[in-house]
Structure 1
Amino acid sequence: MQPWLFLGFAGLVGLSEVSLKNSEIWKSSTHGVAALDSIYYPQPVGPTNQLLEIGRLSFDSTVKHGKEFRIKFTPTFQADPLNYSASERYWSELPEGYLQFQSLGFNIQAGYNTFTWGVTDGYNPLDVVSARRYQDPLRQEKLGAPSLSVKKDLENVSFEAIYIPLQRKSILPGDHSRWLPRQVLTTTSIGNGTQTATLNLPPQLDYQYREEQVRDHALENNFGLRMQVAGLFEGLDVSLQGFEGAANTPAVDIGASGSLVQFQPRLIIRADPQVYLTPVYYRQRVYGASLVYAFSGMIFKSEFAITRLISRGQDLLGNAEEFIAGFERPIPVWGHDLTLVVQGTVVKHSVPVTNAATSLNRIFDQAFLGGLRYPLTDALTLMASGLWDTQFHEGYAHLESTYNLTDALKVGLAGDTLWGSSETP
């Protein structure tokens, strides 16, 4: 991981909500948000942007018919015309666009949708259903996929089933993104697959994406099941879930030529400027459990997830067992509640670690996370979060403040810093 710092400034303008009552049973509403993010990276890194100016426009439209039927539509548009990566300059997405029917404890949704399973904040190993866009791996965006979901609520138990006939492809950082390795690249797709090979990268590096591979029909017929039990004991909620489908983080095959620097004990290659990246979408099965326990003014959250590959290959991210636990507590300070979150993670993987952008989650293998949120006034909110990776001795810190100028206008200032070795996540 390279030591980076970037600052962001955002202004958000909420468009006034419009509510139309066409009859006694038809109702509709629409509201929108316009945002401008200015992101500055102090450190120049190869042929990548130091300044990004990103404009966003999103809408949330709902049409209701009585209490049973609802249509939801949330298109999003993004423009970053000066981005060096052509694939990241303009972007449109439909996270949600579905028809919903609910009656007598049944909830059925058909159309485009995103899903969030699991209960923990910061790192959520059970949140594996939706594909993602990794333009900025620290701020991943979920991609809507055509799906059918059915949920049945009983008194204290709910059952949910999801079917995705054709999963979306997760999108990796652009070819000129600073989130791609720029000094060295460690990979298991070169060599025998049991240990990493190291590519020493030249200053004038040219990444090119090749056509992706899809193994074992990974994008077809994804499905999941979840059971939630509320109040199993006083203050205790638990859930069990399983999902089979495409991994939301694809593997990446590396294609490169160069000169051999070292063969043993570790393969090291001085790479030529041209490096080819091939996204590999593969099939896996993830199952696990989560619990939430509220007691003495605190909330304890925990998850356990087991990942088993269905596809095979030395370039894939491998099997994993993941455990996370932590607590959340509000603390009264000067008339407002300061919310404190502390978590710890332990993850066991079956493959060596690399420094690819798709391996960023490996910083959670043995880590502590913390976060603070404090509304200093009704308009000003301060937030801080961080991570310390005890395995690789690297970390991440985030500071953010937001201020509501009016009910419809908000500004914010944020800063992030990462530190660690360039050969690790």
Structure 2
Amino acid sequence: MPSLAFYLSLILLLSATTSFAARKTEWSLHLDSRIEAVYFPQSYGEDTNDDLYRLELNPIYRWKYLDSVRFTFKPLFIANPNNKSTEEQTFFDPGETFVRYQRENLSLQAGYNIFSWGVTDGYNPLDILNPRQYFDPLHSRKLGLLSLVYSQTLGSWDYEVVFIPLNQGSLLPGDNSRWLPRQIFLPQTADNDLILLLPENLRYHSRARKNLGTSAENNYAFRLQRRGEFIDFSLSAYEGAAGFPLIVPEVTGAIVQVSPKTVIRVDPDVTLNSYNYRIRQGGISFVSNQMNFLFKAVGSYTETLEDNPNLQKWTNENILGLERTFTFGDSGMLIAILQYSFLNTEKKNDSNLSVSEIFRSAYMAGGRLSWKEVWSANFLGLYDSIHGSTYQEYSLSRRFLDAWVLSGTASFIQGSDDTPLGVYGKNSSYSISLSRSF
């Protein structure tokens, strides 16, 4: 029979092994939560909301084994029970949920990933890998993308290779959303020569998304970056599903004009067909730190790989930006940005369901002001120089007890109903939110 000394030795060995295993692994669990109330002063359609109440939960679990294996679980859940658009009442996305194997200069990551490529703010033509949730097109959210990512660092150079076996595509507003046009709709057509006049009691009906060709399958991307003391730049390439689908309406109605554009006064029921389509994009970004300013430039060229007369065969997008940080005393800081975007396409596109059309020739100015580590204010202004439409957003936040944040936001949209930004003119809003981190 084993002696007492043997059992004592075994207990000490097990204790040492458990302690060693505990030292090899680390984990953390947090929860970000937010409740928000949004009020729209103007009514917009019989079956749309004048107010919305949302609860957002964002748990964050991280686990690490040694320094080489990491697991991240960061999904997003939104409950919006009073939303008349049933597709938007609940929303779940896996967000960032992946396993990562990491060595000193390389890593391999598999799961749902969120990418941030490019260097500009607000509008970024290189940031197209992730599909988006467009329940509010002016505040879209990236969706987690099932993908395999290999990255490596070689001195001052980094490169990243991404393989996407199946791209589910972006989510559009639900049938009873305020963010679907309800007065004038200019669908993208082969010659951009069709205008739909919509009745006040419009009823949208969306069909299931279809893929043109193999647009959703075997998407891939590559990025090469160089980081220098004063200048950073990157080259990127992507082939796969476009970030925003092609939308083709089915309508019946009466023709009220045939020239120079065909104008149809449509019946109340409109069916929206949407299609994923495949694109190929090459892009470049540039950042330079000079005289306390950050100079930013982004350019991209996109080809459509589908033979469809309703699609642009090519698109060239460019952004120039300027950013500077100012400090005030010991506790105040302002980050200010100024950007200009200019787009060129195969043919003019008047579609007011194309978010990028807002930025065909647009100026954007914004900033974030913070002071005393508890107050912060954000402001944003956008001017569409082609149509004269504007978007303004102002917010003020106050932190309490380190974990609570109370915020108020006001946004204003102005412009003609037949412009890409002005079509959302009745969606100016006020909101208040309360956030808590655990």
TM-score (norm 1): 0.92
Q: 1:392 to 1:26 in 2, by over 3 A?
A: same
Find the partner of 1:196 among 174, 193, 197.
193
Pair 1:384–1:21, CA change in 2 (3 A):
farther
Report matched runs for 1:143-222 at 5 Å: 143-189=143-189, 193-222=190-219
Contact 2:240-2:278 within 8 A present in 1 as well: yes
Please list, as runs of the form range in 1=range in 2, the aligned pairs for 1:109-120 lying within 5 A after superposition: 109-120=109-120
**CA distance in 2: counterparts of 1:349 and 1:177, whole angstroms:** 29
Report the equivalent of 2:79. 79
Question: Aligned AA for 1:198?
Answer: I
Q: CA deviation at 1:345?
A: 1.0
The counterpart of 1:356, out of the listed 352, 362, 372, is 352
Partner residue, 1:308:
303
Q: 1:365 aligns to what?
A: 360
| SS across alignment from 1:74 | strand
Give CA deviations for 1:124-178 in whole Å, capped at 9, x if unaligned.
Answer: 1100100000001111111112110000101100111000001122100111111
CA distances 1:97-149 after superposition (whole Å, capped 9, x unpaired): 11101103011101111111111111111001000000011111111121100
Residue in structure 2 matched with residue 27 of structure 1 by the alignment: 26
Q: What amino acid is aligned across from residue 185 of structure 1 in structure 2?
A: F
Aligned partner letter, 1:224 = A
The correspondence of residues 376-391 of structure 1 with structure 2, limited to 5 A, is 376-391=371-386
Q: Give how far 1:256 is off.
A: 0.2
User: In 2, distance between residues paired with 1:334 and 1:198?
Assistant: 55
Task: Indicate conservation of the 8 Å contact 1:367/1:390, yes or no.
Answer: yes
| Contact residue 183 and residue 197 of structure 2 kept, 8 A | yes
In structure 1, distance between residues paired with 2:160 and 2:373? 38
Q: Pick from 396, 400, 417 the counterpart of residue 412 of structure 2.
A: 417
What is the alpha-carbon distance in structure 2 between the residues aligned to residue 195 and residue 129 of structure 1?
Answer: 28
Distance 2:263 2:324 in 1: 48
Looking at structure 1, the residues matched to 165 and 30 of structure 2 have their Cα atoms a distance apart, in angstroms, of 30
Aligned residue among 256, 259, 262 for 1:264:
259
Match of 2:245 in 1: 250
Matched pairs, number? 400
Alignment match, 1:5: none
Offset at residue 382 of structure 1 (A): 0.9
Matches of 1:106 and 1:259 in 2, distance apart? 62
| Number of the residue aligned with 1:337 | 333
Cα distance in 2 for residues equivalent to 1:105 and 1:376: 38
Tell me the CA shift for residue 333 of structure 1: 3.0
CA contact (8 A) 2:352 2:418 kept: no
Contact 2:278 2:304 (C-alpha < 8 Å) held by counterparts: yes
Shift of 1:378: 1.6
2-structure distance, mates of 1:314, 1:79? 39
Superimposed CA distance per residue, residues 208-234 of structure 1 (whole angstroms, 9 cap, x where no aligned partner): 001222012111000001100111xx4
1:43 aligns with 2:39: no
1:33 Cα deviation from its structure 2 partner: 1.1
2:418 corresponds to which letter in structure 1? E
Q: Which amino acid counterpart does residue 195 of structure 1 have in structure 2?
A: N
What is the identity, as a one-letter code, of the residue corresponding to 1:216? G
Asked if 1 retains the 8 angstrom alpha-carbon contact of 2:188 and 2:351, the reply is no
Shift of 1:24: 1.1
Give the whole-Å Cα distance in 1 for the aligned partners of 2:141 and 2:347: 26
Q: Secondary structure at the match of 1:75?
A: strand
Q: Deviations over 1:346-395 (max 9, x none)?
A: 110223323433x1221111111111211133201011111111111111
**1:4 paired residue number:** none
- The answer to whether the Cα contact below 8 Å between 1:196 and 1:354 also exists between their aligned partners in 2 is no
Rounded Cα–Cα distance in structure 2 between residues aligned with 1:327 and 1:219: 36
Q: Stretches of 4+ moved more than 4 A in 1? A: none
Tell me the residue number matched to 2:105.
105
Separation in 1, partners of 2:132, 2:176: 19
Helix, strand or coil at the partner of 2:126: coil
The higher relative CO (CA closer than 8 Å, separation ≥ 6) is in: 1
Contact 1:353 1:424 in 2 (8 A): no
Aligned to 1:224: 221
2:434 alignment counterpart: none
User: What SS is found at the alignment partner of 1:87?
Assistant: helix
Provide the C-alpha distance between the structure 2 equivalents of 1:38 and 1:161, rounded to a whole number of angstroms: 41
Q: Is the 2:192–2:350 Cα contact (8 Å) retained in structure 1?
A: no
Cα distance, 1:326 vs structure 2: 1.0
Partner Cα separation in structure 2 for residue 210 and residue 354 of structure 1: 23
| Contact 1:355-1:422 within 8 A present in 2 as well | no
Does the residue aligned with 2:87 lie in a helix, a strand or coil?
A: helix
**Conservation of the 8 A alpha-carbon contact between 1:188 and 1:352:** no
From the two aligned structures, give the one with the greater helix fraction: 2
Structure 2 CA distance for aligned equivalents of residues 70 and 194 of structure 1: 51
Once the two structures are TM-superposed, the CA of residue 22 in structure 1 deviates from its matched residue by 6.2
Task: Classify the secondary structure of the residue corresponding to 2:267.
Answer: strand
CA contact (8 A) 2:211 2:276 kept: yes
Structure 1 residue 295, shift from structure 2 partner: 1.5
Distance 1:389 1:21 in 2: 61
